[in-house]
Amino acid sequence: MPEESTAPSTPRPHPHPGFFLALEGPDGGGKTTQAARLVAWLREAGLDVVACHDPGSTVVGERLRQIVLDRASVHLSIRAEVFIYMASRAQLVDEVIRPSLAAGRVVVTDRFLLSSLVYQGYAGGLPLGLVADLGRAATDGLLPDLTLILDVPLDAARRRVGPGRDRIEDRPDSYRRLVREGFLDVAGRGGGVEPAAYAAPVAVLDAQQDAEAVFDRIKSEVGRVLGIGPRA
């Protein structure tokens, strides 16, 4: 496991009064659980928080999520897959994320654009430039103000996830290894993911630790940029 990296203490300037947080990483890292805990913690701190997941969180998005993840769906090429993810993401941005940020809310999402760069681009074989261009069009250039990557090695992830639960988790270990490499390349700004493809603050956290330790690190990172709570 590489050393944990920390996002810049001053996030990039953003053209909205809210704050946009994304939790990312390989399956098995505990993103969904930790996102829910983060939302609860921020609300306890008195912040107005909107929780969402990508794909999904809109009527259109949930229908597209069924298509892209359901084992019973017709076979999807990686190219078709990325367009479905982008369509769901475009609806999520227009219907939920941008209006919430404009209203000064904190938005916490379980996955966002980085997942497509890694799953369909780095691991799936699509040109990263193509995925990045599609992402900019789908989101109108919106990126999270802070992305937390919950990193977990393949063996630990396999033990946690067990048998695959959807089309993506059914893919072989060779694909899952590339997924983890892709996330770590983004965090290290090296390897196959150029900074321009995901020009947003990123921090990588060791998700092998117990859930409380991981959440403490999340609170430290988020508290530091939002100016709330104890910060290590």
Binding site, annotated residues:
25-32
Q: Residue 85: helix, strand or coil by DSSP?
A: helix
Contact 123, 173 (CB under 8 A): no
Binding site, annotated residues for ATP: 25-32
d(CA 22, CA 24): 6
Beta-bridge mates of residue 167: none
Tokens 């965090």, located at residue: 187
Q: Is the peptide bond before 26 cis (omega within 30 degrees of 0)?
A: no
Residue 19 has phi, psi (to 5 degrees) of -145, 135
59's tokens? 């009527």
Write out the two tokens for 98: 């941008």
Length of the chain: 232
Q: 186 Cβ partners below 8 Å, 6+ apart?
A: 114, 117, 118, 149, 193, 198, 202
